[in-house]
Amino acid sequence: MMNKETTKSKVVHLNDGQFDTEVLKSNIPVLVDFYADWCGPCHAIAPTIEALSNEFDGKVKFVKVDVDANQGVASRYEIMSIPTIMLFENGKVEDSIVGAYPANVYKQHIERALGRRNYSETSH
C-alpha cells in the first residue's frame, strides 16, 4: 500500500460541490482523474499522475474525483470506466483517456493541450 504522506501532492481531491469552481472556471487547463478506491488500475497510475502534476506545476491543474463518492460529476460526464482522465480547457472537455497507460501517453495529451493553448494565445 502506498503511503500518501510521503510525497508532496499537487493533486487536489475534489467533491461534487467544488468541481465547477475548481475545474470549469479554472484559468489554466485542468486534468481530472476520475477514480475509485477499489480500482486497481487507478492505483497503478496514481504515481504517474503525481509525477506529472509536479512536472506541469503552474501550467496545468491536477485534480482527482472519486466516482463512488461524487456520482453527480461522474454522471454528468458519463464516466462508465475508470480510470478516466479528462482534460478541461475553458470549462469544456477537450480530451479524454480511458484506461491505464504509460506516463508518456498522458504527457503527450497534456502537451497537446498546452500547445493548443499557446497557439490560441499567440494567434490573436
- Catalytically active residues are 39, 42
Taking a C-beta distance cutoff of 8 angstroms, is the pair 22, 75 a contact? no
Residues 6+ positions from 45 with CB-CB distance below 8 Å: 33, 83, 100, 101, 106
Rounded CA-CA distance 54/58 in Å is 9
96: three-class secondary structure by DSSP: strand
Q: Give the residue from 30, 60, 34 showing the smallest Cα distance to 46.
A: 34
